[in-house]
Structure formats: structure tokens, C-alpha cells
Structure 1
Amino acid sequence: MTDENPSPRAANIFDVARLAGVSHQTVSRVINDLPNVRPATRARVEKAIAQLRYSPSPAARALVTRRTRTIGLVTPGISDFGPTSIALNFNFAARAARYHVESVSVPPDDPKGTRGMVESLLRQRVDAIVLVVVDQEVLESVRGLEVGIPVVAAASAPRPSPLIVSMDQYRGARAAVRHLAELGHTRIVHAAGPGTAPDASERVRGWRDELTEHRLDPSELHRGDWSPASGYRIGMELDIERGAAVFAGNDQMAIGLLSALRERGLSVPGDVSVVGFDDIPEAGYLYPPLTTVRQDFAALGELMMQKVLVAVEQPDTVTEDTPLPTHLIVRGSTGAAAG
């Protein structure tokens, strides 16, 4: 049995060109809002598009611009709040700019695998590469990439770079430590993230510099891996007394610390004050609510996309952005030093 009323074929770019009496290259210029199209010609093409109900495909857009409006996103293969929030908000910003995102993940135990992930994206003819960096080796490999398209990285670095967007981890850490020092704490321990993580390095640097400014001891550094379990381990191992404070490398580690201190019979903030970093959604609902440093991941995702757009569409423009600010959020886990 045959279908007497088959669905009409969807119009393509060549149908639009024939109806408007122009070349398909001209149609592509109109679709991509490029210059050098006469107003009367543009109006004729737009009328044909409307009449045929034509929806341009990525391939059609690329005919003139040689662009696919696709961005390759390389993310770390972990589920930590910061990196996943950055990737999520970058996807939102890319979608708003009418770009498609192809994502790949680098296994956490293979940071050097970044180059292979980038090569796989290049085979898909992406317009740019964006990386969310949580390991120093990845950052170094980014600096050495020569791929012929823009490469933008979300990563902490001591010096601004045209290729890097970041949050101001350094000043955020200093604000956290300053808050504790102003509460009278003279012993401020740092439960830091991994030594290979650029974010952790910048937070350690801020912790040390702020302690030095207050003439306090900057030697009490303990390393974790961003997880609540590592924060718990540090909290159980610390030789800590009433009146001390702990600056945790992130909120997840702070959660583990709170649990360990409670098990040890220490009150927060009565005996020990605790500050985290990130301001995860649960931070305000912990017991006690967690004082922390807030990062605006939505703003970072938008900044990454802005840098991509400038690099792709205005390649001769040179930009260099300062890190986005962080904000100290004071809640119930910090108080005046006991004793």
C-alpha cells in the first residue's frame, strides 16, 4: 500500500537560492548575518526563507564561513562541584550564542590524555577548543597546543593570560583567612586540595600571604583530594585545640571536617571555626551553616563563551581579562576565637 500524501521534502539552502534568484553562497551570508549583501538582496533571501520555512543546518552555515558553530569542550573526568558547574554554565552560554558543544572527558589518572581528546575534537572540525583545567599538567599541555583554532582554558594562574579565564582564587583565600584573623584566631590551619591542582595552589598562596601579613605561622598545611573523606581524615588527625580555625580547600572537604570535629567533641564555631570555598548549594543548610567563599560559575561560563566568540569572529582582537572576583559569605561556622 502506497502513501498517496507523502510528507513534503524539507527545503534546503539550494531551494532558497533558486527561489530568491541568488547563489547558495549569498544565502549563507544572509543566514550568518555577514556583510557585503545588498539590502534588497537580503530582503529577497529572507522572504524566500520564510516562504519555504527553511531551517538552516550547521553544514549550510559552514558553506561560506567555513565554521561549524561547534565548540569542543574538554572536561576532567570527575564529578566535583566546581568543574561540573563550570562545564554546565559554559554549555548554557554556548547555547545562548547558538553554538553546539561537543564534550569529551579526560580520565583523572591520565592528564596527559588531553592532547588525544583535543585531536579527536579537531577531527570533528570544531571552531574552538575549551578546557576546564584541574591539573597542572593539563594547563602546561594547553600552553603548548598549536592546533590552528582558538584554545580557551578555565584555569587558575598567577598571571593573567589571553587564553585563560579564571576566578580570583588568591584573593578569595586571603579574604577567608583575613576573616578568621579578625575574629582573633592566631592558629589558622589550611586543609588544602591536591598539590597538582592550580586552584589549590592559588588558595595556598593566598593563605600563606595573608598569614604572613598578620604575622601568623604559615606552616600548618595538610593535603586532601577535594573529597569529604579527605576532609574527615584531616579533621581526625589534626592536633587541634580550642581557639584554632581551619580554612578548608573546598566545601566538600569542610563537610568532612565538620563531621570529624563533631565526633571529637569539638564545637563549631564555639571551639573551632571552619571556612570552606565554593559555596555549594548545601553550604547554607549544614549544621552549622558554612562560612565560605562564593564563586560565580555562571559568570565564568559566560566569560569563557565571550572569549571564544572574540577569538573565532574577531581573531585580530587581543583581550586579557583579570580574574573574576570571589565573595566571602559569612555564616554560622565561624566565630570569635575561644579563650
Structure 2
Amino acid sequence: MTDHSGTRLKRPTIYDVAQRAGVSHQTVARIVRGDEGFRPETRERVAAAIAELGYVPNVTARTLATQRSHRIAALTYEMDQVGPIEVIRAASQAAREAGYLLDIITLEPDRDESIDEALALINQQDLAGVIALIPTESIADALTGATFRVPVLMERSDSVQNPEQGLDLGAAGVLVATQHLLSLGHKRLFHVGGPEKWLASHGRSRAFTAALQAEQLQPVGARFGGWSARAGYEIGLTLPVDEVTAVVAANDQIALGVIHALHERGIGVPEQISVTGVDDIAEAAYFYPPLTTTKIDVASVGRRAVEQLLRKIEPARSGPITEPAAPLLHVRKSTTPPRG
């Protein structure tokens, strides 16, 4: 680290944090490690001191002292998509707060040999544990039969259940969006889903159908495609627009593609067809029209996975496990009651 003049500065140590917080360095070490038994005000003082000083625990020193690795790996996929990125970002932060480093190993769901390559890489590394984020049944089967040298937590995509709906997070988001359209009076709805092989796609599709069946309605139709705007666009070009008054997209990128295709076909959104998404990405409020969507707590998937894995690595570790927040509906300009 350097100051504005370029002079190299001394990195803050655990002793600096202890002095700033008014506690012993042993207390700082135990709080950083995640130990329980400290008063909230003590934890807050230590957290504030760490933030003020920019203290970063020396993972290498901890590994040498404890003879235990403080690196964990995350097997993930589709890092060009918003959901997986948010999951990994939250997992990385949770790991760092617990004194661990998170290594990211990317799988390619459509290339089976990428699983073998990832497993070989994992078993060559000095790791404390592995989080496997599973998008498809085939990857679930492959990893279930694999041999790992360290504790493993297998977490299916969208698998954390929302406590209010009792549904997977993505499915709960689709349910809320569909119920919003039903409340506006829509009865002829179409679902544009994600990739057909993905577990998350099927969860969201089932939630869409269940919401309609609760009102004794049937979908006009549903199609799987992909998570991208291109996939939504291609399906949007073939939508039976004379039969549909609303589209429930499985995520915001799909919704963007659908809206673009409808505009090209001369179909007004929402004047003729309403469209909803899921995720509430940063750009959703700036679509044309601004997108009605549901915000789902995907970050809880990553944070919760790290917390559960660390319980396997350190059986004595305690503390709460993250619970996801309920989906939050953001009503914007892409939905309105059906004409007539």
C-alpha cells in the first residue's frame, strides 16, 4: 500500500485492529474466525476497526499456524449471467468474512469433459472444501458419483427456499410476477422459460402453471429457450400474439428480448401485451418500457452455501444460517390491465 506521495505504507495488523477496537488481539482473531460468544457491541467495534484500517487477515499465516487450508472452491457456470455472478459475489464475501479465500472453477453445462477437468483440478489443490452449484440433473449425477478429498456442499440452482411461499427462489419470483398479472385481470398468459435442461427453468415453469391453476386457468403456452435476451427475442418473434395478453419471462434478459421482438412486430408493450421479468437487474428500470419484475435474493444462495460448508469444515462453528428475503415486486411501465 502507498500514500498519495507514493510512500509505501505498513499494512495494518491484527494488533492495530485490537488497539483501535479496545480489545485483545486474541478477541479479534476469534471474531474474524467466526467464533460465537461475544457481545454484539464488541463485534461491532472490531468490524468498524477492520473497515477503518482496511485490515485483511493473512490467510497464509493462518494456514501455517493451524495446519489447515483456508481456501475453498466454488464450482459454478454461466458467469456471463446476472444470477450466477451475484451468487459468487456473495459467496466470496461470506468466505472472506470467515477468513477464507474463494477460488472459482467454471463448468460448461453442455460439455461433459469440463466436469472431469474441474474435478481433477480440485483434487490437485490444497483446499478446505468445495461448493458445487448445480444447474442440471446431468451435472448433479456426475458430481454425486465423484470422489472428493475434502467436504463438499452441493447446492442446486435456485435451491434455497423462500420461507413465505415454500418455493425455490426463482420459482417464488415467477409466482409473484404471475399473480401480479392475474390481479390486473389477465387470463391469457404465456411463459418464456430458460434452458430446458436446467433445474431452475423447470421450477419457474411449474410456479407459473400453479399460479394459473389456482385461478382455474390454463396457460396459452410455454416455451423453454435460454437465459439470454437473444433467446427471448427468438421466442418473441413466434409468440401467438392474437391469443396472448401477457408474457411471464423467466428472467429480465429474456423479457428484454421478448419486448424487442414484440416492438418489431408492431405489438405495443404494455398496450397490447404486458411483460414481466425476474431478477430486477440494474438495467430493468431503463428498458423501454421500464420492466415490471421481481427482485429475488440470489445473494443468499452464495452466502448460505458458504455458511453451510464451513459447518462441515469446522464442526464446532456456530452462528445463524442466512435466510432469503421474500421476492419483492417492482411494478413499472411494462404491465397494465388487458384491453377491453
Mark yes or no: TM-score above 0.5: yes
2:278 match: secondary structure:
coil
Q: Is the 8 A contact 1:31 1:61 kept in 2?
A: no
**1:180 aligned partner:** 181
Q: Is the 8 A contact 2:74 2:102 kept in 1?
A: yes
**1:143 aligned partner:** 144
The 3 A distance-change label for structure 1 pair 57 and 98 is closer
The 3 A distance-change label for structure 1 pair 209 and 56 is closer
**2:204 aligned partner:** 203
**1:4 aligned partner:** none
Q: Is the 8 A contact 2:232 2:256 kept in 1?
A: yes
Number of residue-to-residue matches in the alignment = 286
Residue 238 of structure 2 aligns with an amino acid whose one-letter code is: E
Residue 185 of structure 2 aligns with an amino acid whose one-letter code is: G
Which stretch shifts more, 221-230 or 295-304? 295-304
Please, what TM-score do these two structures have when normalized by structure 2? 0.74
**2:110 aligned partner:** 109
Which stretch shifts more, 74-83 or 181-190? 74-83
The 3 A distance-change label for structure 1 pair 328 and 152 is farther
Identity of aligned residues (%): 31
Structure 2 matches for 1:183-194, cutoff 5 A?
183-194=184-195
Which stretch shifts more, 68-77 or 296-305? 296-305
**1:61 aligned partner:** 62
**1:6 aligned partner:** none
1:86 has 2:87 as partner: yes
Consecutive unaligned residues in structure 2, runs of 5 or more: 1-25, 34-55, 162-166
Return the offset for 1:315: 6.7
In structure 1, distance between residues paired with 2:71 and 2:224: 39
Question: C-alpha deviations, 1:218-269, integer Å up to 9, x for none?
Answer: 3611121111111111111111138610001111111011111111121111
The 3 A distance-change label for structure 1 pair 64 and 145 is farther
Please, what TM-score do these two structures have when normalized by structure 1? 0.75
Return the offset for 1:63: 4.4
1:237 match: secondary structure:
coil
In structure 1, distance between residues paired with 2:149 and 2:160: 24
Residue 127 of structure 2 aligns with an amino acid whose one-letter code is: V
Return the offset for 1:291: 0.8
Q: Is the 8 A contact 1:156 1:202 kept in 2?
A: no
1:252 has 2:253 as partner: yes
CA RMSD of aligned residues (A): 3.0
1:68 match: secondary structure:
coil
Consecutive unaligned residues in structure 1, runs of 5 or more: 1-28, 35-54, 161-165
Q: Is the 8 A contact 1:87 1:132 kept in 2?
A: no
Return the offset for 1:275: 0.5
Residue 247 of structure 2 aligns with an amino acid whose one-letter code is: V
Question: C-alpha deviations, 1:17-74, integer Å up to 9, x for none?
Answer: xxxxxxxxxxxx999759xxxxxxxxxxxxxxxxxxxx98545433464421001122
Q: Is the 8 A contact 1:69 1:99 kept in 2?
A: yes
The 3 A distance-change label for structure 1 pair 195 and 112 is farther
Structure (1 or 2) with the larger CA radius of gyration: 1
In structure 2, distance between residues paired with 1:158 and 1:77: 17
1:126 has 2:124 as partner: no
The 3 A distance-change label for structure 1 pair 199 and 112 is farther
1:132 match: secondary structure:
strand
Q: Is the 8 A contact 2:220 2:244 kept in 1?
A: no
Q: Is the 8 A contact 2:178 2:211 kept in 1?
A: yes
